[in-house]
Amino acid sequence: MGPSMTHYFPPMDPLDVVYLDHELLVVNKPPGLLSVPGRGALLADCLITRIQSEYPTALLVHRLDRDTSGAMVFALSANAQRHLGLQFEKRQIKKTYVARVWGQIEADTGTVDLPIIVDWPNRPKQMICHDTGRAAVTDWQVINRDRGETRVKLSPKTGRSHQLRIHMLALGHPILGDPFYGTLESQEAIRLMLHSHRLRLRHPDGGEMMDFRAKLPF
């Protein structure tokens, strides 16, 4: 069990619904709450369980890390789940994150193209491996620079576990508050400074392009 799972005290915030219709539910996930249940009763409380208590037909489409906040979409029918699942599989859904990272990034934009695989002895940690890793690509753009840190917009082109966290570390600028990756300095923040800010997808019923945003918490 990694350092971020040894103590699980999920926030008790009420559901923050960004959008709701007959096929889609978009919520703003709080940091510190698992997307799906972990192993054992102590890790049973999670976002999908809370959602299904209010919206019984809700189905999982994708996940966010426990410590990541922001926009997360759920399907309200099997048809919507299939439709959204295909969009994720074909990389048609545009995901935009905002992060605060340690240090000042010199360039204004860039792309990290480094393959990722699970670090088995230290799972759930991931690592870069050019031999056996799965392709992982992240576009990044500086929003602004402050004392000792940079705010960046991150656009993952793939959906590997811990991808954004690993790729920012590879740049030499770990995400502030990350308990797995980074330095003692960068880990001092009160939370993981990573937020799913925006989702662009096609509606399962009719194909209209939808754009959802979850308010920035930092």
Active site residues: 65
- 119 class by beta-carbon count within 10 Å (0-12 exposed, 13-18 middle, 19+ buried): middle
Amino acid at 107: A
- Helix/strand/coil for 186: helix
CB 119 within 8 A of CB 126: yes
Phi then psi for 139, rounded to 5 degrees? -90, 140
Residue where the block lists tokens 């600028």:
173
Closest CA to 158 of 190, 184, 126, 189: 126
